[in-house]
Chain A
Amino acid sequence: MLLIEIKDNTCDFCGCCVGVCPEDAIALQEARIDIIEERCTNCAKCVWACPFEALIFHRPVREAAS
């Protein structure tokens, strides 16, 4: 499950996150950014590197024991 959320209105399409992604999991067109879910390992490096805080890492919610 993808835990990274992209804030489209904050992203500046600069490519900094793409450069640090170890899995080549980010595709960046002129003004469109996509994280490829099948490749992303949720390592959060892109989130930490983003100069504009356009990426958010959602911690996995622990399933309540049932």
Chain B
Amino acid sequence: MKDRYDVLVVGAGPAGSTVARLVAREGFSVLLLEKDRDVGTPVRCGEAVSNRSLESIVDVDPRWIAATIRRFRLVAPDGSCVEPDLGGHGYVLERRLFDYDLARMAVDAGAELRTKAYVDGLLADGGEYRGVTISLNGERRTVGARIIVGADGVESRVGRWAGIDTTTPFRDMECCAQMTLADVDMEEDACEFHFGTAVAPMGYLWIFPKGHRTANIGVGVSGAAAKHKSPIRYLNEFVARRFPRAGILTTVAGGVPCAATLEDIVRGNVVLVGDAAHQVNPMSGGGITSGMHAARMAAEAIAGALRAGDLRLLAAYPKEWQRSHGAKHRTYHRMKEAVYRFPDERLNAIAAGVLALAPEQRTIWGVFRVALMKHPALVWDMAKTFGFSAFH
């Protein structure tokens, strides 16, 4: 490990490893730091992605895929099921392998990587930061860098140290409990999403098959709901009811920052990506591929700034992120806020309304259109942001 690098990346999740790989590939020196003993574990994730989004950002290794999803089943509080056509398919990943491989690919591209490397502060130097302080296997040291990337996930402390308020509003934090179950009976190509105050108020419960009779199951509820009853209670109750005999392979907690997306993701020579920049889709809570897409935009801006020796070129990254995702994520956030307020009877009525549609109209947009019937302004927003074609 050297004393100084062109770029220092804090956090070896999908976003951090992708920035590290793409910047190293351009010939710059990169150090990737991960506080945990293992890249890729523990997995705190539902592991579901859309095939198109993943394939457009990385060459997919079949080993990463635990299951291919062709059906999406939305379950209303009264048990009625809607299976909208999402116009594509999904994968349930094996994130232990996925994250591990993304980090390995960063190293293959020339980045250095250290685990058990906990970053606990920035070294200030006027308006800029000349490096970080770390605890590496318990030993204190400092490392310098021209650009520092905060890819430190939901905690997002690097940004705060640089003066960006990255606190996730309490109501926007989806507080999660997740398990991996063995010996479960379910269709191996169908993802289930359960809604309602009994299973997951202001959020949802998911069951995603992972092959070999295993499943990833979890509950995410807003902090505003977790305050009254914790996610692990919702999950334990559901598992006891639906899968009383299942073996529990993993049990983890987690938080998803489902906020509207941060405006401020570059400050001087500090750049934020992934969950640290609140780049999760606030409606679905999916952040694997959106963080990787942002990482690509960030890497391009970083390489440009380093080549020109001009940090102002980093501004290309927030601009590109806002152009490609900003409006969409703000609309998703408003949709989420509306859906949060639906009482159970309304959710049941929506399911009945969608089931009354002709089968070819039962798309995800058909679901939203029925769901937001009483919110014409929001439907208009959706049409503007996602294109009118989405409604056919």
Which residue of A12, A17, A21, A53 is within 8 Å of B230 (Cβ)?
A53
Knowing A29-B35, A49-B226 touch, does A19 contact B232 (C-beta < 8 A)? Answer: no
A-B pair count, CB < 8 Å, reads 91
- Flag whether B279 is at the interface (Cβ < 8 A): no
Where the two chains meet, the residues of B that have a C-beta atom closer than 8 Å to any C-beta of A are 35-37, 42, 44, 116, 118, 120, 135, 153-157, 160-161, 167-170, 173, 175-177, 223, 226-227, 230-232, 251-255, 257
Q: How far is the CB of B158 from chain A (nearest CB, A)?
A: 11
Contacts from A to B (Cβ < 8 Å): 12, 14-22, 24, 27-30, 45, 48-54
CB distance from B340 to the nearest CB of A (A): 16
The one of B135, B157, B231 in contact with A18, judged by C-beta atoms closer than 8 angstroms, is: B157
Complex Cα distance, B176 from A50, in Å, reads: 9
B175 contacts A16, C-beta separation under 8 Å: yes
B157's nearest neighbour on chain A, judged by CB, is A24
Q: Quick one: which of A15, A45, A52 contacts B155, CB cutoff 8 A?
A: A15
A20 and B255 CA atoms in complex are apart in Å by: 9
18 examples of A-B residue contacts, CB within 8 angstroms? A14-B252, A14-B254, A15-B254, A16-B154, A16-B176, A19-B167, A20-B167, A22-B167, A24-B157, A24-B160, A27-B120, A49-B173, A49-B223, A51-B177, A51-B226, A52-B177, A52-B230, A52-B253
With A14-B44, A14-B254, A20-B173 given, name 13 new contacts (CB 8 A): A12-B253, A15-B255, A18-B157, A20-B169, A24-B161, A28-B155, A30-B118, A48-B170, A49-B173, A49-B255, A51-B175, A51-B177, A52-B232
Interchain CB contact under 8 A, B230 and A51: yes
Given known pairs A19-B168, A51-B230, the reply for A14 and B255 (CB within 8 Å) is: yes
Which residues of chain B come closer than 8 Å to A20, judged between CB atoms? Answer: 167-170, 173, 223, 255
> Given A30-B118, A51-B226, A53-B230 in contact, is the A12-B173 Cβ separation under 8 Å?
no
> Does the CB pair A50–B135 fall under 8 Å?
no
The docked-state distance in angstroms from the alpha carbon of A18 to that of B177 is: 16
In Å, the complex CA distance between A20 and B258 comes to: 12
Q: Which residues on A sit within 8 Å (CB–CB) of B226?
A: 48-51
Q: Indicate whether A48 sits within 8 Å of B223 (C-beta atoms), given known contacts A15-B153, A24-B157, A53-B230.
A: yes
- Most chain B beta-carbon neighbours within 10 Å: one of A14, A51, A53: A51
Instruction: Check A51–B231 contact: CB distance below 8 A.
Output: yes
B252: which A residues are within 8 A, CB to CB?
A: 12, 14
Q: Chain B's nearest CB lies how many Å from the CB of A56? A: 12
Provide the bound-state CA to CA distance between A29 and B36, in Å. Answer: 8
B156 to chain A, nearest CB (A): 7
- The distance from the CB of B317 to the nearest CB of chain A, in whole angstroms, is 22
| Chain B residues in 8 Å Cβ range of A19 | 154-156, 167-168, 173, 255, 257
- Residue of B with least CB distance to A12: B253
A18-B154, A30-B118 known; A51 and B255 CB under 8 Å? Answer: yes
Instruction: Give chain A residues whose Cβ lies under 8 Å from the Cβ of B177.
Output: 51-52
B35's nearest neighbour on chain A, judged by CB, is A30
B255 x A16 contact (CB < 8 A) = yes
Q: Would you give the shortest CB distance from B129 to chain A, in whole angstroms?
A: 16
**Residue in contact with B232 in the complex, picked from A22, A27, A51, CB distance below 8 Å:** A51
A51 in contact with B170 (CB, 8 Å)? no
Tell me which residues across on chain B come within 8 A of A45, comparing CB atoms: 170, 223
Q: How far is the CB of B13 from chain A (nearest CB, A)?
A: 11
- A29-B157 CB under 8 A given contacts A49-B255, A51-B254, A52-B232: no
Name the residue among A16, A17, A22 with the largest chain B CB count within 10 angstroms.
Answer: A16
Tell me, rounded to whole Å, the shortest Cβ–Cβ distance linking B140 to chain A: 13
- List chain A residues, Cβ under 8 A from B156: 19
**How far does the alpha carbon of A18 sit from the alpha carbon of B155 in the complex, in Å?**
5
Q: Which B residues lie within 8 Å of A30 (CB)?
A: 35-37, 116, 118
